[in-house]
């Protein structure tokens, strides 16, 4: 039986085009289909190492417009393909803007038993028509990582760095190496591997991370949400509305109160994630408004607006990932 690697296209800069090959920023994302993208990747056959490549255009959008219905279809496609014995891994092309959110969503909802096989997201900071396009290398590297015997769980690959879905964040607006996982902290690995030539060099800390199954330890708490999202044929999900509010100097509660005022029975406000300062601190004025929201059925959790460290004794998640966690929790409770 020939092993397969499935590539799912969702659009993004990696599939973008510009009027000039020298234009790296004034482009339109999500213009080129996944089949055409794969045809322009040097070294792809060598990276496959004899495996068959299967591609599917699952979506075609700029990732700033990513939504949970598309994420759900992506998760369902991953589950379908990973369950096939001949499928070794999945590679997903994605825009950089919300890659970390989609990666974390997949990390949370793909069943544990299927995460023995890797799902690798990759991207580009320059469009496909650029004379210095980075997409082909990233796509080739992602296929190489996907076929590596040590790879498992949801990962992302950009500029030769391999990140865990739990820790990856976009930290730069235009650099080719736009992502980081920070330093090794709170039991989480930083960059888990690097692609050097034709080799994937795994960091020793990642092996213990895998052995202890900490790359999947947050999934079990949302089994009902997993079942609803990927294991049923429910046509449409009513995603709980969860908003993010930022704490800052002289932050007031006006945004929270405005959110409460505009909420309706058809579109209720279900949760708020506060991107707090430092170790999750919140101004007295903002805290007062949050205290008003909770008796009205709004669940409030606190993250940090700092890039790394999280809120000690609570969560190491960024605000956008904490929002996904809360949405899944509330979805389970619906």
Q: Where are the domains of the chain?
A: 4-211, 239-333
Catalytic site positions: 13
Cα distance between residue 292 and residue 91, in whole Å: 44
Cα distance between residue 289 and residue 207, in whole Å: 44
Query: Do the first three CATH levels of 4-211 and 239-333 match, i.e. the same topology?
Result: yes
- CATH classification (class only), 239-333: alpha beta
State percent of the chain over pLDDT 90. Answer: 78
DSSP state of 176: S
Quickly name the fold that domain 4-211 has.
Rossmann fold (3.40.50)
Residues of the chain predicted below pLDDT 70 = 183-189, 205-222, 333-334
The chain-wide mean pLDDT, for the chain, equals: 91
Strand residue runs (E) in 30-141: 52-61, 87-93, 118-122
CB neighbour list of residue 72: distance below 8 Å, 6 or more residues apart: 229, 230, 237
Give yes or no for a contact between 327 and 269, defined as CB atoms under 8 angstroms apart.
no
Give yes or no for a contact between 96 and 177, defined as CB atoms under 8 angstroms apart.
no
User: What SS3 state is found at 100?
Assistant: helix
Cα distance between residue 324 and residue 243, in whole Å: 10
How much helix, strand and coil, in percent to the nearest 5, is found in the chain?
Answer: 35, 25, 40
Question: What is the pLDDT at residue 185?
Answer: 47
Question: What is the pLDDT at residue 333?
Answer: 61
CB atoms within 10 A of CB 166: 24
Cα distance between residue 201 and residue 162, in whole Å: 9
């Amino acid at each position: 039986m020939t092993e397969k690697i499935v590539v799912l296209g969702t659009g993004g800069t990696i599939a973008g085009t510009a009027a000039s090959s020298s234009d790296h920023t004034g482009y339109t994302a999500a213009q080129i289909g996944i089949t055409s993208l794969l045809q322009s990747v040097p070294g792809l056959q060598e990276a496959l190492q004899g495996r068959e490549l299967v591609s599917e255009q699952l979506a075609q959008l700029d990732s700033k417009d990513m939504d949970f219905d598309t994420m759900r279809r992506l998760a369902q496609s991953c589950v379908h393909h990973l369950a096939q014995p001949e499928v070794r891994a999945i590679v997903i092309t994605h825009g950089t803007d919300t890659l970390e959110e989609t990666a974390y969503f997949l990390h949370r909802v793909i069943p544990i038993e299927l995460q023995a096989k890797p799902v690798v997201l990759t991207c580009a900071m320059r469009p496909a028509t650029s004379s210095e396009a980075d997409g082909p290398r990233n796509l080739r590297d992602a296929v190489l990582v996907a076929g590596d015997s040590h790879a498992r769980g949801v990962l992302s690959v950009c500029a030769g760095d391999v990140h865990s879905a739990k820790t990856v964040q976009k930290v730069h607006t235009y650099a080719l190496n736009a992502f980081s996982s920070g330093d090794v902290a709170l039991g989480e690995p930083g960059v888990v591997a690097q692609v050097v030539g034709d080799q994937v060099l795994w960091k020793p800390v990642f092996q213990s991370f895998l052995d202890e199954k900490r790359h999947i330890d947050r999934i079990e708490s949302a089994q009902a949400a997993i079942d609803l999202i990927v294991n049923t044929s429910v046509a449409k999900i009513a995603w709980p509305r969860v908003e993010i509010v930022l704490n800052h100097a002289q932050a007031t509660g006006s945004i929270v109160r405005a959110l409460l005022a505009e909420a309706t029975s058809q579109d209720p406000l279900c949760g708020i994630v506060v991107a707090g300062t430092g170790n999750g601190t919140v101004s007295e004025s903002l805290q007062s408004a949050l205290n008003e929201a909770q008796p009205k059925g709004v669940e409030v959790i606190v993250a940090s607006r700092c890039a790394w460290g999280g809120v000690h004794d609570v969560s190491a998640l960024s605000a956008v990932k904490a929002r996904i966690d809360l949405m899944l929790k509330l979805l389970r409770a619906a």
